[in-house]
């Protein structure tokens, strides 16, 4: 069962530009997490935002959460070629038994 | 701290053979997840344990897949018999209840 859906599916930008990825979900959540995955590698946790939080920052990353719209966004500022990866949102929902469900991801390409 | 350990890293088997994957989570993490990730897609939750009880296994093809978590620590995921469409990366992750998930490097399975 799919909970989070990322948009866009693919994004190509130049180094130094900002990248924004969106995630929409269907049911109420406890928290929403963003992960990065480089090709052929494991998933790296970026940020966890709880349902009672609206914004969190970590270095060049900014995550917002709008529970009324059931959506979240991940902003990467001043992107670098090393940010090239797939980005996934994952939701932890109480009424789904606390399952951690991933979306299909956004593939980000940052060109030098 | 030590991360989530998975073995083997790679496995090639013929269809109809059986295969087993092993996962050792981070010490103290009550929640353990097994995901299947097919190339180009997001991770699909197969089974989620809390301690040695199953939170959800609704996406686990129970006619061929089985998983156990003995003593609430290590876990094994077995496929018997394997099909071509089982070719994927199998990811194990662990977390504190409601916390961020830490992922292992995964096992890349190729069924020929």
Give A85-107 pLDDT, tens digit per residue: 999 999 988 766 678 899 999 99
What pLDDT sits at residue B31? 93
- The shortest C-alpha distance from B42 to chain A (Å) reads 4
Q: In chain A, what residues touch B102 (CB-CB under 8 Å)?
A: 45
| Cβ pair B56:A96 closer than 8 A | yes
| Predicted confidence band of residue A1 (pLDDT cuts 50, 70, 90) | very low
The nearest CA of chain B is from the CA of A104 a distance in Å of 4
How many angstroms separate the CA atoms of B13 and B17, rounded? Answer: 7
Closest residue on chain A to B107 (Cα): A42
pLDDT (tens digit per residue) in B16-70? 999 999 999 999 999 999 999 999 899 999 999 998 899 899 999 999 999 999 8
CB B87 within 8 A of CB B10: no
Query: Which of A108, A57, A111, A60 has its CA nearest to residue A87?
Result: A108
- How much is the mean pLDDT over chain B? 94
Count of A–B CB contacts within 8 Å? Answer: 60
Q: Does domain A5-111 have CATH number 3.40.630.30?
A: no
The confidence score (pLDDT) of residue A13 equals: 97
- B73: containing domain: 5-111
Strand A5-7, strand A19-24: pairing: antiparallel
Closest residue by Cα to residue A110 from A15, A4, A3, A9: A15
Q: Look at chain B and report how many structural domains it folds into.
A: 1
Q: What is the CATH number of the domain that holds B94?
A: 2.60.40.10
Tell which of B43, B44, B89 to mutate to test the A interface (max A CBs under 10 Å): B43
């Amino acid at each position: 069962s799919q909970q989070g859906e990322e948009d866009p599916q693919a994004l190509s930008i130049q180094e130094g530009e900002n990248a924004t990825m969106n995630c929409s979900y269907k049911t109420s959540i406890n928290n929403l997490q963003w992960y990065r995955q480089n090709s052929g590698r494991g998933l790296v946790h970026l940020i966890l935002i709880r349902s009672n939080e609206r914004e969190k920052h970590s270095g060049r990353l900014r995550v917002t959460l709008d529970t009324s719209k059931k959506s979240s966004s991940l902003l990467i500022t001043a992107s670098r070629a090393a940010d090239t990866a797939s980005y996934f949102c994952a939701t932890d929902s109480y009424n789904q038994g606390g399952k951690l469900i991933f979306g299909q991801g956004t593939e980000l390409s940052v060109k030098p | 701290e030590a991360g989530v350990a998975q073995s083997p890293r790679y496995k090639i088997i013929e269809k109809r053979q059986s295969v087993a994957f092993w996962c050792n989570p981070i010490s103290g993490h009550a929640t353990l997840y097994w995901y299947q990730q097919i190339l180009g897609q997001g991770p699909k939750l197969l089974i989620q344990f809390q301690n040695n009880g199953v939170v959800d296994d609704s996406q686990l093809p129970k006619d061929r897949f089985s998983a156990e978590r003995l003593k609430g620590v290590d876990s094994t995921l077995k496929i018997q018999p394997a099909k071509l469409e089982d070719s994927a990366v199998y990811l194990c992750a662990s977390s504190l209840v409601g916390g961020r998930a830490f992922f292992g490097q995964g096992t890349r399975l190729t069924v020929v």
